[in-house]
Every structure is written in C-alpha cells, then in structure tokens.
Amino acid sequence: MSAVLQLSNVVKTYGDLRALDGIELSLPEDSYVSLLGPSGSGKTTLLRVIAGFEQPESGAIRFSGKDVSNTPPHERNIGFVFQNFALFPHLSVYDNIAFGLVNRAVDPVTDMKLLDRKVRDMISLVGLAGLEGRATTQISGGQKQRVALARTLVTEPQMVLLDEPLGALDANLRARMRSELRMIRERCGVTFLHVTGSETEALAMGDTVLVLDRARIAQQGDSDTIYNRPCSPAVARFLNCYNLFSGKMADGGFATAQGLLGFQGHPQRAADPAYAIRYDRVDIRPAGAAATADEVQIEGTFIASEYTGSAVNAFFSLDDGKVFEVEAHLSHRAPENYEPHRRYALAWKREDALVFA
Amino acid sequence: MTMTAVTEEIKTEKAAANGPSGKTLWLLAPGVLWMLLFLVLPLAMMLYVSFWTQTTFKIEPTLTLKSWITFFTSDTYLGALWTTVRIWLIVLAATVVVGYPAALFVGLFVKNKTLQTVLLVLCVIPFWTSFLIRVLAWRPMLGKEGAINMILMKIGIISQPIEVLLFSELSVIIGMTQIYCVFMVGPIAFMLGRIDPSIIEAAKDLGAGFWRIFRTIILPLSMPGVVVGAIFVSVMVLGEFATSAALSGRKVNLLGNIIVTQVGSLKWAFAAVAGVVLTILMGAVVAALLRVVDLRKEL
Amino acid sequence: MNASGIKFGLGVYTTLFLVFLYGPLVVLAILSFQTGPEGGPQFPIIEWSTYWYKHLFGLTPPSRIAPLPIDQGLGRSMLLAMMTMVVSTILGVTAAQAFRRKFTGSGVVFYLIVLGMMVPGVLVGLGMALVANTLGIERHWWGTAFVLHVVYTFPFAFLVMLAIFNRFDSSVEEASWSLGVSPARTFRKVTFPLIFPGVLSAMLFAFTLSYDEFSRTLFASGRDLTLPLAIYGTFSVEVHPNVFAFGVLTTLFSFALLSVYAVLMGLSVRRAKRIAVQEEA
C-alpha cells in the first residue's frame, strides 16, 4: 500500500507552546486511521495543519505525491468534518451538500441534472432521504453529523479528516455512527483520519491507530499491537487498561514500591522506566495464597467494584496508597463478591508483564 | 471528551500575536489611510496654522505666537473658554441628575424585559428627528409666548411671562440637557441591568434598607456607566455651537461659536488657536475620565 | 420608605422624564398646523391648517416668507448619505475583518478609528478647511465634506461589525475552504450572508448619521447647501412654522427608513430559517 499522506518533522508553536514537535507520519491509502491523544496533545492542531488552516513553522507535508506545505486549504482536496459540524446555517440540508460541488474553484458542477444526481446519491448513501428541504436547525445531532459527512464526501476528496466527529453525539448514537462511518468509508474508498480522545473509539475504528503524546507521534500500528504491546508507559497509561508501577531495573526483576516484580524477556526501551500489567491479566485470590514459580504476587485491600455488563472492574488499594485495577470478564467466570477492607492477593504471570527501561 | 475539545480549541484560538500579516495589512490599509489623511492630517494642520501670521483677510505661513497671545489676552476669548467650561460642567451635572433616576427605574426596577426594551426605545426615538429640528423645537416651548409660559399663566402660578426662559444661558442648558441626557441614561441603565439581582436580595435578607443598598451596592456598580455617559456627554457638549446659536440669541458664546464666527470672517489663525485650545481641553477631560474606567473593557 | 414606594416614585419620575424628552417635539408638531402666512410659531393656534406643509412644496401663493431652500438640499443630502453609507460600510467590514486576527498595534489602530467619532465636527471641519485652503483644493459637499462624513460614520460601522464578528463561528468558513471553495467565493457565499444583518445595521447607522450631520459639513462644503445646512441657516433669522412642518416630515421619513430596515431585517432572518428547497433544486 502506498502512502497518501506523509509528514516529516512538522513543527508548530504557539508562542512558547510547542503544539507539534517534529511530527513524522505516513498514512496508507484506502484505510481508516484513528488518531488517539489525550487533551492538549496537539491532535486538533495536527488536523488543522494537514488541512492547511494553520501554517507549520517547519517541516514538509506531502499529499498524494505532491508537496502541499504552501498550498491553500481549498486547493488541497482534503475534506474536513468538524466536531461542531459547522453546517452552513443559511442553507438547507440539500444546499449544504450541493455547496462544494457548485462553488468549488476547480471543476464546479454546472450541469443541474448531474448535480442533482450526485447530491441525491449521497443523501441516500448517508441515509438522509426525506430531509433535503429541512433547515440545519431543524434536524437532530446525528442527522447534522451525516450532513457534515455527506457535504464533504460528495466532493470526492482524496482524504477526509474528522475532528472528534462523534464527540457531540450521545452514547447510543455514538455506537451506531461508529459502524456507519466505517461502512461509508469502505464504500467511498478514501482514507479517513479520525481524531478522538477515546481509546475504545480509536481501537474499535482504526485499521491503523496513531497515538499522539506530548506533541509527538508516540506509536503507530494496528489496534492489536497498540493494545497488547504499547511502546511506552505513556501510551500504556493512555490506553486505560494497564496498571503501571514506576521504579528501576534490578537483579532478577524490576524494583518498585511493591518490591521486586519479576518478568520474562527483554524490557522495551523507554525514557521513563515502568512496569505494566493489563487489568484483565490479574487473578484475585484470598490473602496468603501460594503463588507458582512463574507468577508475581502482591497484596492489596479491596475498595469497590464496578459492574459494566460484560465485565467487573475491581479496585484495590496497595500499601503505598496506589489504586490497582482488575478486570474480570464475565464470560470466563461468574462474578465474585469481595469484602470491602479485606486484603487479597493479586497475582499474574511473569510473561504477561511489560517492562519499559 | 468534550473537555479535550474545549482546551484544544482555546489553544488554537490563541493565534500567534505577531505583526499584521500581508492579508491583514491590506484589509486595514484603506481605513487607516483614510483616518490619517482626513482626520489626523486636518488636526495637525489646525495646530500648524495656529502659529501662522494673521493679516486682515488672509494668513501667511510665517510662524508666530501672535494669535496665541491675542487669544490669552482677549476678554472675549477667555470669556468663551470660561463659558464653555461652565456650561459643560452644568450640563454634565444636569444630565446625571436628570438621567440617573430614569436609568435606575429602567435598568433595575423594571423586571419585564419587553417593558425595559420599550422604555429604552422610547428614549432613542427622538434621535430620528434631525438634531437641528430638536434644538429649534425649544423655541416655541420656552419663548415669551411659548408653551411653558402659557401653561404657567393659565394655572395662575405667574402673572407675567418669564422672559429669562429663552435667549439666555438657561435655555442653552435646558436644551443641551434634553438632547444629551439619553447618552447618560443608556450606559447607566446598561450597567444597572448587569447587576445580579441575587446580590440585592442577599443584602435585603441581611436587613439592609434601600438607601444603604443604594449607597453600598447600586451606586458603586453603576459608576462605570456614569463615567462612560460622562465621556459621551462631555465630548458632545464641548464641541457644541448649534444649540447656543439657536437658543441663546448670541448671548452665549462657546469656543465652538468663536471658531464659527472667526472662520466666517476669514480669521483662520484665530479659529485654529481656539480649535487647538478646545482639543486640549477635551483631550484632558477624556483622558481624566478614561483613567477612571477602561472604555474598551466596558463596551 | 419601602421598595414599592420607591418604585412608584421612580415610575412617575420616568414618565415625567419622557414628557421632557417628547414635549418640545409634540409642541413643534402641533404648531406646524398653524394657519399661514400670518400665523406665527407660537400659541394659540389661530386656525388649524396645512398651509405650512403646502408652503414647503411651493404650493402656496408667494408671500413675504421665503420658501425653505430644501429641494436641492434634500437631493444632495440623500446622495451624500448614500455615498457615505457605502464607503463607510465597506471600510467598516474590511477593518473589522482584519481585527479577527490578533496583531501587534491593534490597540493603536482601534483608537485611531474610534477617534473619528469622538473628535467634534467643528475641529475636523476647521482642520479640513485649512488643509483644503493650503493645498488649493476647492471645497465641495461631495468632496471634502464627504470624506469627513466617512471619518465620522466609519467608526460606527466598524464597531457594529466588530461585535458581529465576535460572535461569528469561523469554522463554517474553514468548512467551505476544505470543500474546495476559494476564500473570495467563501466570503461571498458563506461569510457575507451570515453577517448581512450586521452590515444592514452598519448601513443604517452610517446613513442616518450622515444625513443629519452638519458641523463637519458647515466648514468643509462649498457654496451648495445640504439639508441640515439649510435648516441651520434659519437659526439666525425669524423662525416660521414651515421649519416645524419640515421637522415633522423628516421625522416621518426617518420612520419610513426604519421600517424599511425592519422589513429587510425580518426578511433576512426569515431567509435564514427558510424551509423551502432552494432555486437550484
């Protein structure tokens, strides 16, 4: 697969703040890419630089083989879907969708029949049939989202940037729009770059997931790699499914406030050393239970648990006050009841631990 | 996740505050150029010409202080300066006294938004009549056979018409107060409308009487409105000449009137001196008022 | 004294205040129906008539009272107000557009523009007359006076547009660019329709301020009188009820203008809420 978009060493600053600090990036053609980052990591800035709304201080942006660093936004052929949708409030749903085709600088559609066919095809693709004549103030959030998407897709951009496109929708609608977005993208065959702050959304939607941390790309890979082998403690922390211990390498393990924790294999290279164990790899046992040789075991006091339907998340307080989370999938075993303020042993296999040093 | 969006949005809003870019410069150039050529240049010219030599019918670009000396040694000019300051102070005080209670009612006591808007619109409607006509309208009101004298005589308060009502300093003050007090009412009512009613409720619950609430809460919070109103009124009254020309029968000469008559008799240098004095006076007044309140923040 | 007593007292006061504001205008309107040509500008009304309205339009037999020189002045004032309206609105929109981005020196430029509405007309008028004299430029209402009118009205248009742009969401413009629409066309098709109500208000401000302006015009226009100058000319002579009749008519004209504005405003609001499919469909 060839790259449709390449960024090399892109830097963008606001005064003293480095919003983008040497971004290196290459996105494949015809794929769904999600960009995951905590707040303030520069995700929106990155999208705005790619779209051309902001000029980076340095670095090159190559889009489908051409350097577009100095190309104005309207000549880039990159679509943009805003979080607040930014529909044209003075135009109807139909006219919002027809707007780009009629008014674009390159190759505007003047044939009314062709225009009407394209617009109506798009309206049925995104499921807005019957709402053509509505004002943008007279449709629901999900429908606005579809108009915003349809308006962009009908102009056949080579790539579409989506800035937290589901952020303004309620949870129910969000889940439905996820699969619809993927479906619509597959039918159009263009690359989507979807920015989100939600790790579940990023992992669920992206063929490729990019993780942005402190103005740099921290990791790029498929969902499985990102989830199972985060390349740094920061990525692991942001995935929200790892217990992390800071400490340093020692003989026969990793030294932390909980004592020496064992692991297998070679530690990954990272700036700040840490020991990570996934929530769902931990076994809860009565205090004082024996551990096997290939296991690591620590003790904690049970605080509370949270039922999510398919799993139960249990929270323990370790001796230094740190909160330790365990996720038990209910398909594996029936939910157990733990007593508050009782101590339990928490055990996991050495091979499941990830170590960064 | 919304938090994420908000913080990132704030960041992008804080666009780099460097010098005006090419496009901004082109957008600004026409307006700035217009103001420099047709506002700053004329004012600078006025200052320059005030040092020219005045002969009977023309001026020569030979620099001299003569016009300035004439101005500050002449009783007429100094009298006009004093009249301007006096009328300005009286009208300013009158607009506050007359306008404040009305603003208090509209801004604070009228809770119904529609009624509030209606009252404010009622205050603005007279502006749809020509300024000069509004000034002239005082003549049939105040004259010897005017409406006020007629009514007062009808109800038997006076037996002789009051002649001092028209063509006097009083008529100028009455006219100016009526014309300009709306500029005082507006900003004060605006400020009073912004007071959180719960503060006043809380003070009432603590047992404070109306006067105490007025002195400690309402008055201090409405002060910026008074100052903004004072700026409007001062700027307009100091530059006045039409009201005194129409209602004083040439008895009241403001600096504005001096400029008009000097220009009429082609005494450009004297007119320029009076203009510069007026500019300095106004600059000082506005600067003093702006020290009290930041105009850009309050608007 | 209790609060409701104070409220009542202030209500009565405000009523009196409105009487103070309107009294002279009401008296003026009544006296405009004085009989003529012998009836003067004072009470009592000898006989109700529309003589002075006819007098304004030259429909009465010649008398010792000269007709107001308004016919040409009216045309000039309208044209001048139109020119001022167009130019100051364009300047106001472009300057406010520039202020959407932060730049160093914006404070200085802001005060330079606002200065235009603060400096009294006599001062800029005098300054302009001096500049024109020195440079040997002839003074005309359509030249030297016109530029001063714009100096006066441009700041109002600028402030109105500044307030409009403050509430404007620029992502709709970015959305338009990302659809391949050039910035110029985006301004025409997206920005302008959305700021149109503001532009209309700026135009209204500029027109009425210019139409009524006389202190700048007094020094900066040449021999040809504009309407306010014609009225100003009556200050030094005896006033007749024809001026009052004229006042009533100009007020009615202002209200007509205001109604046009209200209708246009209503239309643009309705257009924004419009449901029908557009003409292209």
> How far away is chain A from the Cα of C1, in angstroms, using its nearest Cα?
51
- Interface contact B5-A83, CB threshold 8 A: yes
> Pick from A228, A258, A275: which residue ends a domain?
A228
Q: Does some domain include residue A288?
A: yes
Q: What is the DSSP string of B238-272?
A: HT--HHHHHHSTT----HHHHHHHHHHTT-HHHHH
Residues A55 and A99 in one domain: yes
Q: Does some domain include residue A236?
A: no
**What is the pLDDT confidence band of residue B296, given thresholds at 50, 70 and 90?**
low
Q: Does some domain include residue C83?
A: yes
Residues A224 and A280 in one domain: no
Q: Does some domain include residue A235?
A: no
Angle of helix A93-103 relative to helix C171-178, nearest 10 degrees? 50
Torsion angle of the four alpha carbons A169, A173, A178, A179, in this order, in degrees rounded to the nearest 10 = -160
- Interface contact C10-B259, CB threshold 8 A: no
Q: Does some domain include residue C276?
A: no
Give residue C238's pLDDT: 76
Q: Does some domain include residue C253?
A: no
Best to test chain C binding among A80, A92, A103 (most C CBs inside 10 Å): A103
Q: Does some domain include residue C1?
A: no
User: Domain count of chain A?
Assistant: 2
Average pLDDT over residues C137-163: 92
Query: Chains B and C: how many Cβ contacts under 8 Å?
Result: 250
Residues A252 and A200 in one domain: no
Average pLDDT score over chain C: 86
As a whole number of angstroms, the distance between CA A282 and CA B224 comes to 65
Tokens 């040789």 belong to which residue? A293
Single-letter code of the amino acid located at C118? M
In this structure, what token pair is assigned to residue C170?
């620029």
CATH code at position A42: 3.40.50.300
Helix (H) or strand (E) holding A185: helix A171-188
Q: Does some domain include residue A233?
A: no
Average pLDDT score over chain B: 85
Q: Does some domain include residue A49?
A: yes
List chain B domain ranges. 64-298
CATH code at position C110: 1.10.3720.10
Domain enclosing residue A205, as ranges: 3-228
Residues A350 and A222 in one domain: no
Per-residue pLDDT tens over the stretch C102-134: 888 888 999 899 999 889 999 999 999 999 988
CATH code at position A285: 2.40.50.140
Residues A99 and A43 in one domain: yes
Best to test chain C binding among A54, A84, A90, A120 (most C CBs inside 10 Å): A90
User: Is the Cβ of B18 closer than 8 Å to some Cβ of chain A?
Assistant: no
Residues A26 and A173 in one domain: yes
Q: Does some domain include residue C137?
A: yes
Option in C17, C113, C126 nearest B31 (CB) = C113
- Interface contact A39-B16, CB threshold 8 A: no
Residues A222 and A254 in one domain: no
**What is the pLDDT confidence band of residue C204, given thresholds at 50, 70 and 90?**
confident
Per-residue pLDDT tens over the stretch C236-262: 777 788 888 888 888 888 888 888 888
Whether C279 shows a pLDDT value over 50: the answer reads: no
Q: Does some domain include residue C81?
A: yes
Higher model confidence: residue A188 or residue B257?
B257
User: Is the Cβ of C64 closer than 8 Å to some Cβ of chain A?
Assistant: no
Average pLDDT over residues C9-31: 91
Give residue B1's pLDDT: 36
Average pLDDT over residues B39-51: 93
Give residue B18's pLDDT: 46
Per-residue pLDDT tens over the stretch B50-74: 999 888 777 888 888 888 998 899 8
Chains that touch A (3 or more CB pairs under 8 A): B, C
The CATH superfamily holding the domain B64-298 is MetI-like (1.10.3720.10)
Chain C CA closest to residue B174 = C20
Chain C CA closest to residue B201 = C3
User: Domain count of chain C?
Assistant: 1
> Pick from A172, A202, A228: which residue ends a domain?
A228
Q: Does some domain include residue A57?
A: yes
Residues A193 and A331 in one domain: no
> How far away is chain B from the Cα of A55, in angstroms, using its nearest Cα?
11
- Interface contact B8-A40, CB threshold 8 A: yes
User: Is the Cβ of A83 closer than 8 Å to some Cβ of chain B?
Assistant: yes
- Interface contact A133-C190, CB threshold 8 A: no
As a whole number of angstroms, the distance between CA C106 and CA C263 comes to 36
Q: Which residues of chain A carry a pLDDT beneath 50?
A: none
Give residue B6's pLDDT: 38
As a whole number of angstroms, the distance between CA A61 and CA C246 comes to 69
Average pLDDT over residues B153-171: 86
Average pLDDT over residues B67-89: 92
> How far away is chain C from the Cα of A195, in angstroms, using its nearest Cα?
17
Chain B CA closest to residue A83 = B5
> Residue C133: how many CA atoms within 13 Å on its side-chain side?
21
Option in C169, C179, C277 nearest A99 (CB) = C179
Q: Of the ranges A239-253, B28-42, B176-190, which one carries the lowest mean pLDDT score?
A: A239-253
Residues A197 and A262 in one domain: no
Whether C25 shows a pLDDT value over 70: the answer reads: yes
Chain C CA closest to residue A93 = C277
Q: Does some domain include residue C170?
A: yes
User: Is the Cβ of C192 closer than 8 Å to some Cβ of chain A?
Assistant: no
User: Is the Cβ of A213 closer than 8 Å to some Cβ of chain B?
Assistant: no
Give residue C278's pLDDT: 39
Nearest to A94 by CA among A54, A46, A126: A126
Q: Does some domain include residue A334?
A: yes
Give residue C280's pLDDT: 35
Residues A195 and A265 in one domain: no
Dihedral sign for Cα B248, B252, B256, B261, please: positive
As a whole number of angstroms, the distance between CA A213 and CA A226 comes to 14
Q: Does some domain include residue A17?
A: yes
Per-residue pLDDT tens over the stretch A307-328: 887 888 889 988 888 889 988 8
